[in-house]
């Protein structure tokens, strides 16, 4: 048996939609359990008081990355069949900055707003309306910004292929970076709680 299963046509498109629904449920449960249905928790990442966003995100990236790497080493998953979004450097830099500013102003990112919506947060309903408006504005602007959208094209490029490093080495470096980030996050949270504790006294 070879993976990705869908690419080897072990099942058809209709079945894939049922799988999408099931994976979505698991995704939603994980986000809710992480506290990501609450804008106050998400935003606190940017004030160093609660680093859950960083911890959950980097743990998830490391887990999936290690799993995928292991599966490709043993020949189970064909990595070349796993979807890579093409890199367009300029729009990704600008889009990332705009999205980051929007994250702090709105308090959610698209996925977490769905979970907040599901757990009764009215600001998330408004956020989703805002998102629909933003996408519509982007769509209407598209003919005039199409050249920017397609600028800085680099194709399907990964960190190992771009820097000419082995895949395993980059995996190892990402794990090290994540561990460093976790240590910094735990230290920072402790410092911040000491500080706020003193202020209360």
Pick left, alpha or beta for residue 182 (phi over 0 → left; psi -120 to 50 → alpha; otherwise beta).
Answer: alpha
78 and 2 in contact (C-beta within 8 Å)?
yes
- Beta-bridged to residue 3, according to DSSP, are 77
Closer residue to another protein, CB minimum distance, 115 or 201: 115
Q: Please tell me whether residue 100 binds another protein under the rule CB under 8 A.
A: yes
Reduce the secondary structure of 1-34 to three states and give it as a string: CCECHHHHCCCCHHHHHHHHHHHHHHHHHHHHHC
Q: Which is nearer to another protein, 75 or 143 (CB)?
A: 143
Residue 85 engages another protein in binding (rule: CB under 8 A): yes
179 sits near another protein (criterion: CB under 8 A): no
**Which 51-80 positions form the footprint of another protein (CB under 8 A)?**
52, 55-65, 67-68, 71, 76-77, 79
Q: Which is nearer to another protein, 73 or 97 (CB)?
A: 97
Under the binding rule (CB under 8 A), the answer on residue 189 touching another protein is no
Among 9, 73, 74, 109, binds another protein (CB under 8 A): 109
Q: Is 184 in the site for another protein (CB under 8 A)?
A: no
Applying CB under 8 A, the site for another protein has a residue count of: 131
SS3 38: coil
| Torsion from C-alpha of 110, 183, 48, 31, nearest 10 degrees | 30
Q: Which is nearer to another protein, 100 or 180 (CB)?
A: 100
Q: How many CB atoms lie within 10 A of CB 139?
A: 9
Is residue 92 within the footprint of another protein (CB under 8 A)? yes
Nearer to another protein, 154 or 201 (CB): 154
Residues 6+ apart with CB under 8 A from 44: 50, 52
């Amino acid at each position: 048996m070879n993976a990705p299963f869908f690419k080897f046509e072990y099942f058809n498109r209709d079945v894939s939609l049922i799988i999408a629904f099931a994976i979505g449920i698991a995704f939603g449960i994980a986000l809710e359990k992480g506290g990501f249905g609450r804008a106050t928790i998400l935003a606190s990442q940017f004030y160093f008081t609660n680093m859950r966003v960083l911890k959950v995100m980097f743990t998830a990236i490391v887990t999936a990355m290690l799993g995928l790497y292991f599966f490709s080493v043993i020949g189970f998953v064909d990595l070349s069949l796993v979807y890579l979004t093409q890199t367009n450097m300029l729009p990704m830099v600008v889009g990332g900055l705009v999205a980051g500013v929007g994250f702090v102003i709105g308090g959610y990112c698209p996925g977490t707003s769905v979970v907040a919506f599901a757990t009764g947060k009215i600001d998330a309903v408004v956020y989703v309306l805002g998102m629909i408006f933003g996408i519509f504005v982007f769509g209407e602007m598209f003919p005039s910004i199409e050249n920017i959208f397609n600028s800085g094209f680099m194709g399907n490029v990964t960190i190992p292929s771009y820097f000419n490093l082995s895949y395993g080495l980059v995996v190892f470096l990402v794990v090290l970076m994540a561990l460093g980030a976790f240590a910094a996050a735990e230290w920072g949270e402790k410092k911040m709680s000491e500080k706020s504790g003193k202020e209360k006294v």
